[in-house]
A and B are shown apart, each in its own frame.
Chain A
Amino acid sequence: MQSIRISRRGLLTGTSIAFGASLLGGTGGIGRAEDAKKPRFLIVLGANGGASLIDGPLAIRASESTNAATLNTYADAQVTAPGPGGIRAVAYDASKIGPIPYAIATKQEDFVKRRGKDMMVVTATTTSVNHNVAQRRSVTGNEAWLGRTLQEAVAMQYGAGMALPNVHLVTGSEFTSRGSDASLPAYAYGETVADPLLWPLGLHGFRGIPGGDRPDLVAKARAMRDGRLSKASRFSQTFDNAPALKKWRALRGSQGAFESADLISKLMIVADGDKYPLSKHGLVSSPTADKVRSRFPDYQKDPLEAQAALAYLLITQGVSCTVTLGANANFVYTGDKPYGSGGLSDGAVKNLPIAFDYSHTSHRGAQAFMWERMYRIADGLIELLSGTELGGGESYWDRSMIYVATDFGRTKTRPANAEDFGTGHDLNNGAVVLSPLAKGGTILGGVDPSAGLTYGFDLASGAPDKGRTTAEKEVYAGILGAMGVDTTGSGLPDVPAMRKT
């Protein structure tokens, strides 16, 4: 695997591709030299709408609860504990999801069995049931460290020499909220990608465009423009000190580095063909695109698969150290039959309307469908990253973390013995973390089977503690700790229970 590596020395001497703070006016990262050499990678997988842990890794068997009929419990046969540490899995079948005529037969068991050793379930009780507010708090720990997001903190630590350390692949979500710490270098803030399939075209100024077949001549025109025409312009002289122009000039100054790095090729997921006629325009797919497309074959239909495909390329091409993806709120289906003409075909539905929040209409169907979706995407990323060597005998996955961030939980009750019911928002829940860097095969905290409410754990030992709940700030600190981020002076608690020992 060939990766882009930009050395500090190269940046200083101008002999290397120059990215990040050095071009965008930043002040440099806090990462130590050894960190820069061995980055860690944070993948935030946004479970938009409330991924309820008691419909997944903390599912409750009816026989365990004194309130089984009115609590969201499952028949004993539906709940297994295939993973280490007692992590559970739900099997759920239904002929439709609320009013959506789409049959599902989901089974979380395979994923938990396969990935359980890297799976850490962290209970928590959050502070907002407003989607936007809660999503933001899930990545800022409720503004725990000057309002900087997890992604920004990781980008600060490991991203100083990368082209785009922090990339936001999902839109319409506050999981990609910009943090409120304005003191960070520019490279730490997220770069938004609206369309993962066509976005790489914007990483080159002329390749694939008519008239762009002579880079040497384009370079002459650019040099004339920037060196003489703009300087001769009274407009540019008048507004020479305008921040907007200064920023623009810095962006222009980085164009050459992006073009030299050939990111337009290295990050191109799509295959050459009628829909994307790359070769006719002098373009090519990423050298590893075949592998990525085969693991995420629905990438043209399912936005989340496209995001995951690009996430893998961004990480393994050395472009980014943190990426954020997730299901957005759109109903995505292939439309193989007119709606209302009967059941939709297997695989036709890619995403439910309002994602996990469709639980308002059909809790179990929505949770089952969406959990499977999250697990499937995570599984694909883990497989790809595990199979790609970073160096020194380590794979990319060895230094990665997938944080399944969610807004909040769902209300725990149901009409007596109802199988299809709606739920509201509930502060009590937690999160799933997948990583060899975290204490895998572990449930930190637990769930009270009579109430469906999770309880906390001792931050040092990880021992369950029914007398406490875990705060957003503690989850945030634990993730940064496992990621090896230097939090000196932050005031964050130490959470060794979340780190691999």
Chain B
Amino acid sequence: MTILLPILAAAAVAASGSFGCSKSDDEAPKPAPSASPVAVSTQNRLKFKGGERYSADLAEALAIPRGELCKELSAYDCADVVHKIALGGIEPYQQTIYRPLPDRSVASANAVDRIALSGCESRAAKDFADGAKAVLFGELALGGAAPGKDAPAAVAKRLYLRLMRREATPEEIAALGDLYADIAAAAGAEGPRRFATLACFAVATTEEALFY
């Protein structure tokens, strides 16, 4: 599955300019996606992914077993137990909640952040423990050596491919580059490690990652 991801992402990118309509190779070159006008939806039919779907997607993107993604107090699964109802789940047996709550609450926003931060930190820990087997952060996990200047961009591109199944736009790559500089200035030698977790967190909690 891991091998297939870039292929799927590439397919998604090919389709992204036309929201699913394929384009032939001989069409006129199109501008960079971020510069093209965006057709604003008039239907606005958006759904929140919910805890179960979001966690499954995130675990797969981060190549972390679903059960290890996030555990509150190292014991209670975030999406399946602690934040299940806040994230739109149901629990008919003990709590007699048969339908998702009609509205999200502030606990929903916090729960998403907690799940993403936990998962990203876990991925970063694994990658930095053994850079040779890194899944996401190989350019940063160099055993203490300073990352190259292109490392943040490489990580940004990989984050979007894995988390969003599409390529990052120039703006997104630039934004994460700025985040890298900002964190490096604040965290010193810990900068690359901190950036790995928090860049992942930032992308994994964008609106695009949470709604469909």
Say whether A205 contacts B84, CB under 8 Å: no
Contact A205-B105, Cβ < 8 Å, known A194-B84, A217-B186: no
C-alpha spacing A235/B199, complex, angstroms: 19
Q: A191: CB under 8 A from chain B?
A: yes
User: Which of A189, A228, A247, A281 is B171 in contact with, Cβ under 8 Å?
Assistant: A228
Say whether A211 contacts B201, CB under 8 Å: yes
Say whether A220 contacts B85, CB under 8 Å: no
Q: B97: CB under 8 A from chain A?
A: yes
Say whether A244 contacts B95, CB under 8 Å: no
Contact A217-B34, Cβ < 8 Å, known A202-B83, A205-B109, A229-B203: no
C-alpha spacing A237/B45, complex, angstroms: 14
Say whether B187 contacts A217, CB under 8 Å: yes
Contact A214-B194, Cβ < 8 Å, known A204-B110, A229-B172, A229-B203: yes
Say whether A251 contacts B117, CB under 8 Å: no
Residue of B with least CB distance to A252: B109
Residue of A with least CB distance to B76: A198
User: Which of B102, B111, B113, B206 is A229 in contact with, Cβ under 8 Å?
Assistant: B206
Contacting B at CB under 8 A, from A213-248, are 214, 216-218, 220-222, 224-225, 228-230, 232-245, 247-248
Say whether B101 contacts A276, CB under 8 Å: no
Say whether B41 contacts A195, CB under 8 Å: no
Q: A277: CB under 8 A from chain B?
A: yes
Say whether B74 contacts A281, CB under 8 Å: yes
B residues near A201, Cβ cutoff 8 Å: 72-73, 82-83, 114
Say whether B206 contacts A230, CB under 8 Å: yes
Say whether B172 contacts A242, CB under 8 Å: no
Say whether B207 contacts A237, CB under 8 Å: no
User: Which of A224, A237, A244, A254 is B46 in contact with, Cβ under 8 Å?
Assistant: A244
B residues near A330, Cβ cutoff 8 Å: 94, 96
Q: B208: CB under 8 A from chain A?
A: yes
Contact A218-B198, Cβ < 8 Å, known A178-B102, A201-B72, A228-B171: yes
A residues near B27, Cβ cutoff 8 Å: none
Contacting B at CB under 8 A, from A266-292, are 275-278, 280-281, 283
A residues near B202, Cβ cutoff 8 Å: 221-222, 224-225, 229
Q: A388: CB under 8 A from chain B?
A: no
Say whether A202 contacts B107, CB under 8 Å: yes
C-alpha spacing A222/B201, complex, angstroms: 8
Say whether A220 contacts B186, CB under 8 Å: yes
Say whether A211 contacts B197, CB under 8 Å: yes
B residues near A234, Cβ cutoff 8 Å: 16, 33-34, 38, 169
Contact A244-B44, Cβ < 8 Å, known A228-B175, A234-B16: yes
Q: A41: CB under 8 A from chain B?
A: no
Contacting B at CB under 8 A, from A173-219, are 173, 178, 189, 191-192, 194-195, 198-199, 201-206, 208-212, 214, 216-218
Say whether A203 contacts B206, CB under 8 Å: no
Contact A230-B208, Cβ < 8 Å, known A214-B194, A238-B41: yes
Q: B176: CB under 8 A from chain A?
A: yes
- Interface-located stretch among B58-66, B118-126, B135-143: B118-126
B residues near A247, Cβ cutoff 8 Å: 103-104
C-alpha spacing A391/B110, complex, angstroms: 33
Contact A235-B84, Cβ < 8 Å, known A191-B105, A241-B40: no
C-alpha spacing A59/B41, complex, angstroms: 64
Q: A16: CB under 8 A from chain B?
A: no
B52 to chain A, nearest CB (A): 15
Residue of B with least CB distance to A212: B117
A79 to chain B, nearest CB (A): 35
Say whether B74 contacts A202, CB under 8 Å: no
Contact A224-B179, Cβ < 8 Å, known A278-B73, A280-B74: yes
Contact A202-B207, Cβ < 8 Å, known A232-B171, A251-B105, A277-B74: no
C-alpha spacing A471/B68, complex, angstroms: 55
C-alpha spacing A251/B101, complex, angstroms: 15
Contact A209-B117, Cβ < 8 Å, known A220-B186, A245-B46: yes
Residue of B with least CB distance to A216: B186
A209 to chain B, nearest CB (A): 5
C-alpha spacing A281/B76, complex, angstroms: 13
A–B pairs, 17, beta carbons within 8 Å:
A171-B95, A172-B97, A192-B85, A195-B95, A201-B83, A202-B106, A203-B106, A205-B110, A206-B114, A221-B183, A224-B178, A244-B46, A244-B47, A245-B207, A248-B104, A248-B211, A330-B96
Q: A194-B86, A195-B95, A237-B40 are in contact. List 8 more A-B contacts (CB 8 A).
A: A205-B114, A224-B175, A225-B202, A229-B175, A232-B171, A242-B44, A247-B104, A252-B109
Q: Which residues of A contact B (CB under 8 A)?
A: 171-173, 178, 189, 191-192, 194-195, 198-199, 201-206, 208-212, 214, 216-218, 220-222, 224-225, 228-230, 232-245, 247-248, 251-252, 254-255, 258, 275-278, 280-281, 283, 328-330
